[in-house]
Structure formats: structure tokens, C-alpha cells
Amino acid sequence: ALAIDADRIDEARTVLLSAYDKELRGGEIADIEIVTPCAIIAAVAQSLSNEAPGRFYDALGRCGIPLVAAAQGCDERNLSAVVHARDARRALRAVHSAFLSHNVVALALVGAGFIGGHLIDAIAEAERMLLAR
């Protein structure tokens, strides 16, 4: 897999077809496929745990996000996935959910005066926005 700027696709295709002409004609390489538009999602840490790749790729799989390509850095500091651009936002949320802790907040509201009423409205609006995602 190779990631390049979208404005250089034609140039890259020409270079790759030329560089791999012998392998393409000999059947060693079936085709060179251009997949666009894509996004790269990555998890980077000082030292990724042994469970990190499973958590990373499982999070994407549970959300039904197909991978175009995947890689893990040899220094165990980076996990990357190339996804279709249309799935990038969901992919990022899925990976965040897999690695970032969730804090539960308990809230008790007694009375719905001016301030309480605005707080209830703000919570309801936030809920609508979150459910829409």
C-alpha cells in the first residue's frame, strides 16, 4: 500500500506501471489499484502494549469499517489503518473509544429554575447531537 497526495495520482500511476511493467506482464502482479479518497487513522504511543493492535483493529471491525490497508511500525510506537474517507470520522471515534477511558458523570438536578432549565436544555441538545452521530 502506498499513500500519496490526491493531486499526484496520475503521476504515481504512471511511475508504478513503469516500475512494475515486467511483473504486471508476467502475471506476478495482477493489477495496480488506485483507491480514493482515503484517510489514514493512526494510534501513536511511546510504547504500545501487546494488546494494542487487537484493540485498534477490533474497534474498526466492530464498527464495520473496511480497511484499505493496515500497518504496524517496527518500533511498536505506531498502528495505522487506511480507510475510505467516508468512514474516517467513524473510524476515529471507534479508535478513540477503544483507547480513551470513559468517565461516567452522575448528575442530580433539583428544581428547574432559570439556570436548571438551561442546563436541561443543553443536556437534551447534546444528547440529540450524540445520538445523531
Q: Pairing relation of β-strands 38-44 and 67-72?
A: unpaired
For the residues 95-119, what does the mean pLDDT come to? 75
* DSSP for the chain, written as a single string: -----GGGHHHHHHHHHHHTHHHHHTTSS-------SEEEEEEE-SS--TTHHHHHHHHHHHTT--EEEEEE-TTSSEEEEEEEGGGHHHHHHHHHHHHS------------SHHHHHHHHHHHHHHHHHHH-
| pTM exceeding 0.85 | no
Q: Indicate the range of 22-36, 83-97, 115-129 predicted with least confidence.
A: 115-129
* CA 30 – CA 1 distance, rounded (Å): 14
The identity of residue 82, as a single letter, is V
Q: What percent of the chain has pLDDT over 70?
A: 94
